[in-house]
Amino acid sequence: MVSKLIEKIQKTKAPICVGLDPMLGYIPEHVKEKAFAEFGETLEGAAEAIWQFNCAIVDATADLIPAVKPQIAMYEQFGIEGLKAYDRTVKYCQQKGLIVIGDIKRGDIGSTSAAYATGHLGSVKVGNTTCSAFNTEYVTVNPYLGTDGVKPFVDECNASDRGIFVLVKTSNPSSGEFQDRLVDGRPLYELVAEKVVEWGEASMDGDYSNVGAVVGATYPEMSKILRKLMPKTYFLVPGYGAQGGTAEDLKYCFNEDGLGAIVNSSRGIIAAYKKDAYAKFGPEHFADASRQAVIDMIADIGRVL
């Protein structure tokens, strides 16, 4: 799978993904009003608003980007109806030729992780019939339970040509609370990184592994070290833009081949119309604002590569 991701990144010259994290507060009033008029102020109404919002953004940006990263929590908060919007969004993006990184951060004991892996990356057997459920190209995985919580995802990467990004160093303010604690003089996230390398060796696809790592843009000094520790690991880099990470902060996430990382922006793209820089588009043309924000982000990152 990572070779497909790289191919798309090279074709678009855009090592970025758009985070489809549609909080209701980001969605323009006219989109919500239309959805609520049809389905009421209900979970179904919220899901419809999300779906319409996503469609417009995907239509306006799909030719510029290799991938999207829907954050499943933003759908799951609206229950079954929200998850239907997630499922529709995934399939719509795939029809548009985009790679979908399901930001699900799952991880459990072995048999349970196997269920998540089949449901999100692979297929599941019902009687004698093979069915697939969410079927995204990539998912994110939480490593706190160790190898037997991650291995079922790696197995699915191999069985179904899929990929994962394992949380190594997250972008949030308190990520250091446990991740930075020193074990034998080295931060925990480095130990996790070494395990990611080990897991990744079992799923190589060209020069890189299908087992990637989440490395936050907000901690550039750490990404420099992590880049060296994990030379064949693709990084999914959250934290650019709204969370405070700059293009300058990102450069250490890339290898000398200009590859090795895909940078996510969510709010900065999907809610661009709310920022002063894109206010001229207005809420009516929110998707055009998102397109311009994507073009600007690609240029911004291009400067440091």
Task: State which of positions 138-157 bind a copy of itself (CB under 8 A).
Answer: 142-149
- Residue 155: phi and psi, rounded to 5, are -60, -40
Residue 9 or 143 with smaller CB distance to a copy of itself:
143
C-alpha 123: how far from chain center:
21
Q: Would you count residue 108 as binding a copy of itself (CB under 8 A)?
A: yes
CB 234 within 8 A of CB 214: no
Q: Considering the complex, what minimum distance in angstroms separates the CB of residue 6 from a copy of itself?
A: 27
Q: Would you count residue 119 as binding a copy of itself (CB under 8 A)?
A: yes
Catalytic, out of 91, 105, 151, 195:
105
Q: Could you tell me which residues come within 8 angstroms of residue 151 by beta carbon, excluding any fewer than 6 positions away?
A: 110, 113, 199
Give the other-Cβ count within 10 Å of 129's Cβ.
8
- Residue 135: phi and psi, rounded to 5, are 55, 50
CA–CA distances in Å: residue 38 to residues 32, 52, 88: 10, 13, 18
Q: Would you count residue 176 as binding a copy of itself (CB under 8 A)?
A: yes
- Among 181, 224, 228, 280, the residue binding a copy of itself under the rule CB under 8 A is 181
Q: Would you count residue 185 as binding a copy of itself (CB under 8 A)?
A: no
Q: Which of residues 69-98 bind a copy of itself (CB under 8 A)?
A: 71, 73-74, 76-80, 82-84, 87
What is the biggest distance separating any 2 CA atoms in the chain, rounded to whole angstroms? Answer: 60
Residue 9 or 17 with smaller CB distance to a copy of itself:
17
CA distance 284 to 290: 12
Q: Which of residues 43-62 bind a copy of itself (CB under 8 A)?
A: 43, 45-46
- Among 4, 96, 105, 275, the residue binding a copy of itself under the rule CB under 8 A is 105
Chain position carrying tokens 């699900």: 104
Q: Would you count residue 36 as binding a copy of itself (CB under 8 A)?
A: yes
For a copy of itself (CB under 8 A), the number of binding residues is 75
Q: Active site includes 105?
A: yes
Chain position carrying tokens 């990470």: 245
Q: Which residues are catalytic?
A: 105
